[in-house]
Amino acid sequence: MSAAPVRVPLHALAHGRSGDKGDRLNISVIAYDAALYPVLVEQVTEARVTGQFRHRRPTAVRRYLLPRLAAMNFVLDGVLDGGVNASLNLDAHGKSLAFLLLDMEIEVPAALAAGLGRSRVQQG
């Protein structure tokens, strides 16, 4: 198969949730389909996540892999403008920021792309 890879937002491949502690944010990225987890591991890297949050000037970005959950956990330091008690953001907790990460573009190999875009409402 030599078909071109399909570009999709991470949101089509994974779900996630933000959590905050002080000026530290964590975001989980959980593959809907374990077969696509290696694609996420390859492309959703610390460097790319740092780029996705460049305006917030992270002082550190760390990725932890949880293959048994087909998940990864990102920990971003210094991205919450001081945290919930110091930030001027409407969303001082950074609760919306999981969706900033899920907006990242991913290239899915054509062989794995079949079936993408279908509703993913089935029981996980």
Binding site for other proteins (CB under 8 A): 11, 15-17, 19-22, 24, 26, 28, 30, 32, 55-57, 64, 66, 68-69, 71, 73, 75, 81, 83-91, 96-97, 100, 119-121, 123-124
Query: Which residue number, 2 or 88, has a Cβ lying nearer to other proteins?
Result: 88
Q: Give me the least distance between CB of 96 and other proteins, in Å please.
A: 4
Q: Give me the least distance between CB of 109 and other proteins, in Å please.
A: 21
Query: Which residue number, 2 or 122, has a Cβ lying nearer to other proteins?
Result: 122
Taking CA atoms, 99 is separated from 5, 17, 18, 53, 62, in Å, by 23, 8, 9, 12, 18
Q: Give me the least distance between CB of 2 and other proteins, in Å please.
A: 30
31 CB contacts (<8 Å, ≥6 apart)?
13, 14, 37, 40, 70, 71
91 CB contacts (<8 Å, ≥6 apart)?
97
Q: Give 108's strand partners.
A: 6
